[in-house]
Structure 1
Amino acid sequence: MKLSTKGRYGLRALIDLAQYSSEAPVSITSISARQDISERYLEQLMAMLKKAGLVSSIRGAGGGYVLAKDMREISVGDILRALEGSLEPVECQGLEPDGECKAADSCVTKYVWKRINDSINRTVDEIMLDQLVEESRKKCCGDTGQRICKN
């Protein structure tokens, strides 16, 4: 499985948003500057994340984006699926109840694909946004709590 820039940049943008939106909405411009992602591309990603119910937009002066849910309730899987669609690296019709695979009854490779698919989904669903924010703080702030690096 290879993630596109949508998934990679979108995850970075949401970590940034989670870090900076606790007091006020965060602008696309500020995320763009910190993450070195074009504003135009971020707007597309935020639209997808908004449609998935992960972010909300606030209009007007001082507006921007905020998380639509608590960061402890947003998994990496939620973010990646909103941006990439299915995360399954192998599409196997034999795994579908109504699949049209003629070899489904005798094919044993479908068990390999199912385990790979399940493992990926389980892993991304277990990692929550708040954990990534905490890891980022450890890397950037050390024990001082003061920001010493660029995300």
Structure 2
Amino acid sequence: MKISTKGRYGLTIVVVLGTKYGEGPIPLRQIAEEQSLSEAYLEQLIPVLRNNGIVKSVRGAYGGYMLARPPSEITSGEVIRILEGPIQPVDGLDDVDVPQRELWKRMAEAIREVLDTTTIEDLMKTNDSASDGYMFYI
């Protein structure tokens, strides 16, 4: 399974908003600048995240976006599914032989397990530990 820029950038938005959780709305422009990402591309992703209850928007001069729930309650699997669709390493499992089908099913389950047990808060902690010699890239 290959995660596209849509999934990676969407997860980046959510992690950045998680680091600022409780501080009020953050302008999308600020996220784009801090992460060196295209603001125009992020503008395409944010409505999908908003419509699916991951972020909420605040209008006005001091408006922007913030997480709709605490970072500990949002999983990376939820974000990836919203932006990328179902998590499956191959299409057309009915067309492959049984040994391969079982392999692909087990792989998909392992991927789901990691994504569904990794919260945004976990990713924030991983990112914080970068100063300890570890680096997490989204």
Which residue matches 1:27?
A: 27
TM-score of the pair, normalised by structure 2: 0.87
Q: How many residues align?
A: 133
Q: Amino acid of the residue matched to residue 117 of structure 1?
A: A
Structure with the higher fraction of residues in helix conformation: 2
Deviations 1:5-58 (A, max 9, x none): 011111111111111242110100110111111111111111111122111111
Give the secondary-structure state (helix, strand or coil) at the position aligned to 1:108. helix
Q: Which residue of 1 aligns with 2:135?
A: none
Query: Given residue 126 of structure 1, which amino acid in structure 2 is its aligned partner?
Result: T
Partner of 1:68: 68
Consecutive unaligned residues in structure 1, runs of 5 or more:
95-100, 143-150
How is 1:2-151 mapped onto 2 (pairs within 5 angstroms)?
2-94=2-94, 107-139=98-130
**TM-score, with normalisation over the residues of structure 1?**
0.80
| Deviation at residue 108 of structure 1 after TM alignment | 3.1
Contact 1:56/1:68, CA 8 A, preserved across alignment:
yes
Once superposed, which parts of structure 1, at least 4 consecutive aligned residues long, lie more than 2 Å away? 91-94, 106-109, 137-140
Give the deviation of 1:139 after TM superposition. 2.2
Identity over the aligned pairs, expressed in percent? 37
Distance 2:38 2:21 in 1: 19
Secondary structure of the structure 2 residue equivalent to 1:66:
strand
Q: Give the RMSD, CA atoms, in angstroms.
A: 1.9
Larger C-alpha radius of gyration, 1 or 2? 1
CA contact (8 A) 1:28 1:39 kept: yes
Instruction: Report the residue type matching 2:71 in the other structure.
Output: M
